[in-house]
Chains A and B, each alone.
Chain A
Amino acid sequence: MHVADGVLSISIAVATTAGAVGVLTYALKGTNEEEIPKISLLSGTFFVASLINIPIGPTSIHPLLGGFLGLVLGRRAPLAVFVGLVLQAILFQHGGISTFGANMLLMSIPALLIHWLFTYWKSPSLFWKGCIAGFTAIGVAVCLLIVLLLLSDARYGSGSFSVIQIVLVSYFPLALLEGVLTGFALHHLASIKPYLFKSLTEKGGE
């Protein structure tokens, strides 16, 4: 999701920038020095993994991995989102300056929600946790995007062929694919590094 400058109104741009600062502060709080190399390398890896192009007919899509971020990095996920957005801006000129906060929130809030959800809901298998995380993260991000668009200008939602409808139609199949991909990725990662997901499988631990 790369909301470009100009799409959101100035009041939404300012509010989301302030919100993103709050989310980043929350994610950074209590980070110790041992975690920094791990967060850095995982942030870089998530960024690179999200560049994998999956061909569909004449075009291709790429995964967003927001749910996977929440499962692996937990409350530090917004740091990886921040890194990803800055790298996207520097290397590929995607995103925007006034929409940086909005893009940050669109990816960070779903990742944090997934982290909190599976901190308390431990019954699904890892594969299903991945599926739910991948699908839900995109679903929540799309809902947030729609709210931001409608708060910016009601014209995004008006008409029988509205921007909101196009967004919903184009992201729904991506959410399904992302769910399945995240499920397989989580299952594979847990089979190699089971200790990473102790908190997701053991009752009573965070």
Chain B
Amino acid sequence: MNNQQQVGTVPKWAANWESRAKLIAAIGYIFGVISLTNLPYVMAAYVLSVIVFVVMKIPITLLLQRYLIITPFLLLMTVPLLWQQETGSVIFAMLILLKAFTSMTIITIVLESQSLDQLVNGLAGFRIPLKLITILVLSYRYVFMFLEDIDRMLTAAKSRFFRGGINVGKLRVYGQLTAGLLVRAIERSDNMYKAMASRGFDGQLQFSPPKRMTSKDIIKTVLAISIITIIIVIERSSFFS
């Protein structure tokens, strides 16, 4: 299921949630979760994020796949902590895992409840310099072409019995492949600039104005940030009492 098909299945209240408002809610929630220091509160924040995920009717297998993606790095950061033979270290390792999984759940909700165009328009709607958004959009458009290029180059290398590995001769081939890819990009960029300049390109792509943020969007964002704020306040108050 691609992103467009996925967006079609999420409830209307989530799909219509304005991109910028949704991003602010997600960033606020994630930073809030990161600031928590006690396991039960992080667990509460995680469970809430999973409930929202389920309500949004996004396939749970997709979420599990994404947990798998971040697991190797998380294991690198947590497994050595388990060797320290202190209860505190084990809890610390669990905190890292839960915070990372909460964040991944929120990121998946954001990515799967809107199209990439909406997301990019949302980013452009923040006061991010347009040149930066232009660079991002152009790179995104061309990255699939480069993926095809590298695929073709690797197929060509394999057809000449190149099997990969880490000896000097093979690293030379990898270096040449990388350089070859850059040469193509540089040549394309010259032609691309000429083509764009002839169509009036002034360094910035034009984006459609972002959708107006409605009171409903603001309520949803305030609700998300309020929930994490309440969890933080309860944690702090129980810590000091």
CB contacts under 8 Å to A, within B73-110, are: 73-74, 76-77, 79-81, 83-84, 88-89, 92, 95-100, 102-104, 106-108
A188 touches B179 (CB 8 A): yes
Please encode chain A, from 68 to 92, with 1 for each CB lying within 8 Å of some chain B CB and 0 for all others: 1000100000010011001101111
Among B92, B129, B193, the residue within 8 A (CB) of A155 is B92
Cβ of B11 < 8 Å from any Cβ of A? Answer: no
Asked if B107 and A177 make an inter-chain contact with CB atoms under 8 angstroms apart, the answer reads no
Contact A52 B132 (CB under 8 A): no
Choose one: A5, A46, A91, A94; the contact of B34 (CB below 8 Å). A5
Complex Cα gap A10–B26 (Å): 15
The chain A residue with its CB closest to the CB of B89 is A155
Asked if B81 and A163 sit within 8 Å, CB to CB, the answer is: yes
- Kindly state whether residue A19 has any CB partner on chain B within 8 Å: no
Tell whether A6 pairs with B95 under 8 Å between CB atoms, given A41-B139, A41-B189: yes
The count of chain A contact residues (Cβ–Cβ below 8 Å) is 82
Report yes or no: A96 in contact with B103, Cβ–Cβ below 8 A: yes
Is A31 among interface residues, defined by CB-CB distance under 8 A? Answer: yes
Q: Which residue of A lies closest to B108 (CB)?
A: A93
A33 pairs with B166, CB closer than 8 A: no
Stretch in contact with the other chain, from A106-114, A117-125, A189-197: A189-197
Asked if A135 is an interface residue, CB under 8 A from chain B, the answer is: no
Using an 8 Å CB-CB cutoff, how does the interface string of A31-55 with B read, 1 for contact, 0 for none? Answer: 1111011111111111111011111
Q: Does A65 contact B (CB under 8 A)?
A: yes
Question: By the criterion CB–CB under 8 Å, are B150 and A48 in contact?
Answer: yes
- Of the listed stretches B50-58, B141-149, B221-229, chain A binds B141-149
Q: Is the CB of A185 within 8 A of B135?
A: no
Query: With A and B bound together, what is the CA distance between A39 and B100 in angstroms?
Result: 32
User: What is the minimal beta-carbon distance from A90 to any residue of chain B, in angstroms?
Assistant: 7
B1 to chain A, nearest CB (A): 15
- Whole-angstrom distance between the alpha carbons of A72 and B98 in the complex? 39
A93 touches which of B89, B111, B190 (Cβ 8 Å): B111
A135-169 toward B: CB 8 Å interface, digit per residue (1/0)? 00000000000000000010110111111011100
User: Does residue B220 face the partner (Cβ distance < 8 Å to A)?
Assistant: no
Q: In the complex, which residues 2-60 of chain A have their Cβ closer than 8 Å to any Cβ of chain B? A: 2-10, 13-14, 24, 28, 31-34, 36-49, 51-56
Which residues of chain B in 160-212 are interfacial with respect to chain A, using CB atoms and an 8 Å cutoff? 164-166, 168, 170-172, 174-186, 188-190, 192-193, 196-197, 201-203
Contact at B201–A182, with CB atoms within 8 Å?
Answer: no
- Inter-subunit contact B70/A79 (CB<8 Å): no
Residues of A within 8 A of B174 (CB): 52, 54, 63, 181, 184-185
> When chains A and B are docked, how far (Å) is the Cα of A87 from the Cα of B136?
8
Take A79-B135, A180-B171, A185-B175 as given contacts and tell me if A6 and B80 are in contact as well, using a CB distance cutoff of 8 Å: no
Chain A interface, DSSP helix/strand/loop, else mixed: helix
- Assuming the A-B contacts A4-B100, A79-B132, are A163 and B182 also in contact, with contact meaning beta carbons closer than 8 angstroms in the complex? no
How many Å lie between the Cα of A56 and that of B62 in the bound state?
29
Contact A93:B132 (CB < 8 A) given known A40-B142, A47-B143, A188-B179: no
Q: Which residues of B lie under 8 Å from residue A72 when comparing CB positions? A: 182
State whether the Cβ of B131 lies closer than 8 Å to any Cβ in chain A. yes
Min CB gap A31→B, angstroms:
6
Do A6 and B96 touch (CB < 8 A)?
yes
Q: Is B35 interfacial (CB 8 A cutoff)?
A: yes
In contact, A155 and B81 (Cβ under 8 angstroms): yes
Check: B31 CB closer than 8 A to any chain A CB: yes
Contacting B132 at CB < 8 Å: which of A28, A44, A90, A192? A28
Given A40-B135, A65-B178, A86-B136, is A167 in contact with B76 using a C-beta cutoff of 8 Å?
Answer: yes
Partner of B103, one of A5, A51, A185: A5
> When the two chains form their complex, are residues A92 and B69 in contact, meaning their CB atoms are under 8 A apart?
yes
Determine the distance from Cα of A4 to Cα of B177 in the docked complex, in whole angstroms.
30
Nearest first, the 6 closest Cβ-Cβ pairs linking A and B are A184-B175, A6-B99, A33-B203, A5-B103, A40-B138, A185-B175
* Pairs A–B under 8 Å by Cβ, sample size 6: A44-B138, A45-B184, A48-B149, A93-B66, A161-B80, A184-B179
Other A-B contacts than A8-B34, A38-B190, A189-B179, 5 sampled, CB-CB below 8 A, are A40-B134, A43-B135, A72-B182, A185-B174, A188-B176
